Amino acid sequence: MQRFILKSKNQITLLSAILIATAYISKWAAGNTEVFTLALIVASVIGALPIAIQAYQALRVKVVSIDLLVTIAVISAFLIQNYEESAIVTFLFLFGAYLEQRTLNQTRSAIKELTEMAPESAFKQMENGEFVEVDVDDVDEGDLLLVKTGAKVPVDGTVIFGDGHINEASITGESLPVGKEKDSKVFAGTILENGTLQIVADRVGEDTTFGRIIELVEEAQDSKSQTERFVDRFSKYYTPVVLFLAFVVWLFTKDVELAITILVLGCPGALVIGVPVSNVAGIGNGARSGVLLKGSEVITDFSRVDTMVFDKTGTLTVGNPSVSETIYYSADSAEVLGYMASIERESDHPLAKAILEEIGEVEFSVVESTEVVKGGGIVANVNEHRVAVGNVALMEREKVYLSDEVKADIDRFMNCGNSLVLTSVDGELKVLMGVRDQIRKGVKENLRKLKKLGVKNLVMLSGDNQGTVDVVSRELGLTEAHGNMLPEDKSAYIKKIQSEGHIVAFIGDGVNDSPSLALADIGIAMGSGTDVAIETSDVVLMNSDFSRLPHALGLTKSISRNMKQNVTIAVGVVLVLFAGLLLSEWVSMSVGMLVHELSILVVIINGMRLLGFRLRK
């Protein structure tokens, strides 16, 4: 019976409205007071049922809820035969709950849109070579899939044939179609606007970028910020205090109507709903804009950030460097390049890819006893030779002699902004390569926006040499830039500036960034970075779109302001109503409930504004 009544709340609300309307029509039009009284009595009873059930269910788990305040107030009004107040209060409370739920559902529409965008089927190549439509759950990594014009890309994958333009708004928030060709990466949930593509599945199901977006956003909605937890604690103790206050007023004044009016006026509905609606709307906006905020707690901390620390490669720069200059110090360069290629092809470091592209096709050798030197490079045995490929520090560790000529070359490379890759064979330097990365397009403008949003310090930490770091720093106008930083050096730097009272955000994309991402007050990962970096972070910029960073900071500041506005509105309404009760005669039970429900709608509508948030130019 309880389930049936609660399920029929909307119908009960409508019936209550009809009965109240019937009561007043019969009184004003026909002067029939009997129908007037009977209709209000029935409206009070049926309207109180779902409210009383909710109050009872809350009491069973030892929670004194708003429903209990309203239930006591309605029963008291009914007992003193104030049927108008009891009927109107129950209707307003139920109608307010209906509007509140309806409006909240709209704030969650951004999340709902995401889940509805999830692909359901795919055209998979079968053993006979034909493409057959199958459920997306039946696609495995390595399967060959066909994507036609207008279809959703079913998985994260790599294009192996065809070309076209894809709308990646569901991933990046950018509606401008992106051109795709052979070897391009595509993401699940995006839409092929024209062309035909054949792709090989790299990630499927929940492991896709789109699947992770939905999972992270759902987790974010379930989390609670410090403000929300405070409001929850406040409401937990506030409601019993209002109940006690009403009892004391009745005890001293013997005025039952005054006591039950206090119960209604003290309802903290807007306070309870104001903060969650801001968070849900803000997280929804972020999800549609290519920004994943992992929880409400992140919003508060991010909005207060005054220092941003950036990794260089893959964050401020494209992360796709190329060899700019090479110097050979021996005649056997072809053999040495073969050794280098054999070692570098086992590495996933961006510099390794650049070196392999520069070397081209060579004869590979068997690599044995590989040792990765953190922050230094790689040492391995190749064809019975000890080969070291890495930076100057690695050469010093290997006791490789660097002549004055070599040191001069190194200085020149560094002053030109190159990262250094030195190769030694059996303790003798053979090759010096300079590798340079390109700064991401628009980064300088986005950093300027961050400063306007209140970020005082923009710092770059990199494992590259200081010369390379200084070149990038000068071009971008950073506050500080430090090179030759190992992962533990980056963590130590973050601890240092945190101890100085700064709220720090760290932005990176690699495995070696994970300690810093975890240590910073806010860890921000580039979406194309490693899984470890993404899991460790608090915020993810999907598709590594750096331009989303100012939007993310501006959004969290707006959410934080919006939460404070809603709390102020909620508390202000209660204070005004109590002041009106003490200083005037216009405040009654039904007026108080009407004002409360209106305040709930105000804070919800105020929170919904965040769905349309855009950073001002």
> Which residues are identified as catalytic?
311
How many CB atoms sit inside 10 A of residue 151's CB? 16
**Residues near 88 by Cβ (< 8 Å), separated by ≥ 6?**
20, 589, 590, 593
What are the backbone angles phi and psi of residue 182, rounded to the nearest 5°? -55, 135
**Nearest by Cα to 608 from 557, 566, 567:** 566
Rounded to whole angstroms, the Cα distance separating 561 from 454 reads 15
Instruction: With beta carbons less than 8 A apart as the criterion, state whether 164 and 149 touch.
Output: yes
172 vs 317, 428, 555, CA distance in Å? 18, 48, 16
Backbone angles phi, psi at 229, to 5 degrees: -65, -35
Contact 242, 236 (CB under 8 A): no
> How many Cα atoms sit within 13 Å of 30 on the Cβ side?
10
From start to end of 374-441, where are the E strands? 377-382, 385-390, 419-425, 428-436
Cα torsion for 526, 530, 532, 537, to the nearest 10°? 0
The DSSP line for 103-125 is: HHHHHTHHHHHHHHHS--EEEEE
The number of CA neighbours under 13 Å toward the Cβ of 545 is 18
Residue (of 336, 400, 343) closest to 370 by Cα position: 343
Q: Is 5 left (phi over 0), alpha (psi -120 to 50) or beta?
A: alpha
Other C-beta atoms lying within 10 Å of the C-beta of residue 355 = 27
- Per-state percent for the chain, helix, strand, coil, to nearest 5: 55, 20, 25
- Both tokens of 587, joined, read 């405040």
Give a three-class secondary structure readout of 428-451.
EEEEEEEEECCECCCHHHHHHHHH
Q: Which residue has the tokens 């190769």?
A: 423
CA angle 520, 221, 573 (to 5 degrees): 105
- Structural contact between residues 37 and 44, judged by C-beta atoms closer than 8 angstroms: no
Q: Name the residue with tokens 């040492």.
A: 379
Tokens linked to 200: 């090989």
Provide the 8-state DSSP code for 313: I
Spatial distance between the Cα atoms of 536 and 516, rounded to a whole number of angstroms:
9
Report whether 180 contacts 198 (CB < 8 A). Answer: no
In sign, the C-alpha dihedral spanning 395, 396, 401, 405 is: positive
